[in-house]
Amino acid sequence: MLQIDETHSDHKREQPGLSSSNLTVVEENIAGEEVLALYQDFCSRFGRSDLPGIVKCFATHPPVLKSMIDLAAGFLFVDGHLSRRHKEMVATLISSQNGCSYCASSHGNLLLAQGGSTEVLCALETGAVDSNCFSEAEQMLLRFALKVNSDSRSMTRADVEKAMQAGWTETQLAETIHLAAFFAAFNRIANAFGLPAPGLRLP
């Protein structure tokens, strides 16, 4: 059970957190009651006994933390227009392209948990989206995601129609755009805070 540190106040100088190297995150032992309640909500929703570092990065502003927990529960970590496995593929690819070892490793682990192979994981980490470990449709989706991340201003209707010809729907492509954009933000947050990469758990 998480305990509230009754000695904490908004005026107390916080000691550097254990989860990041650049900027202090809100650890449980210095969190206020509102943040602790949100931390407990996260652990309850996701069946976890620990808190990922990225969650703590949002706790400096509780309304943002609540919104991110709701986003994770309602969009990131559930099947939607895209399957959960395809979402983890996009997350791992974009995070690798953006040089975010924290997110790439975290979502690489989640991809393995969703049945992804180590061959698929290695291809995503190196940006080898034309690898034959992907179906032709998956190759197209991954190229689409890469363009959203690296050159979105040049995206045209032709890019959308090409992906649709490979079998993807407009709603699936919209979800891919949302994922790529969200992870571009998460990657920058994780890198700027200095979150260390978790270890890779092979199946």
Give the whole-number percent of the chain exceeding pLDDT 70: 88
Measured over the CA atoms of residue 175, residue 181, residue 182 and residue 183, the dihedral's sign is: positive
User: Is residue 63 within 8 Å of residue 37, measured between CB atoms?
Assistant: no
Domain boundary among the residues 48, 78, 108 is at 78
With respect to residue 27, please indicate whether it lies within any of the assigned structural domains.
yes
Cα 83 to its chain centre, rounded Å, is 15
Q: Give per-residue pLDDT as tens, 92-129.
A: 999 999 999 999 999 999 999 999 999 999 999 999 99
Q: What is the pLDDT of residue 56?
A: 95
Q: What is the pLDDT of residue 198?
A: 77
| 70 and 157, same domain (yes or no) | no
| 93 and 26, same domain (yes or no) | no
**What is the spatial distance between Cα 145 and Cα 21, in angstroms, rounded to a whole number?**
30
| 28 and 128, same domain (yes or no) | no
**What is the spatial distance between Cα 34 and Cα 66, in angstroms, rounded to a whole number?**
10
User: Is residue 142 within 8 Å of residue 90, measured between CB atoms?
Assistant: yes
Prediction pTM value: 0.86
With respect to residue 203, please indicate whether it lies within any of the assigned structural domains.
no
With respect to residue 198, please indicate whether it lies within any of the assigned structural domains.
no
User: ∠ CA 183-2-68 to the nearest 5 degrees?
Assistant: 20
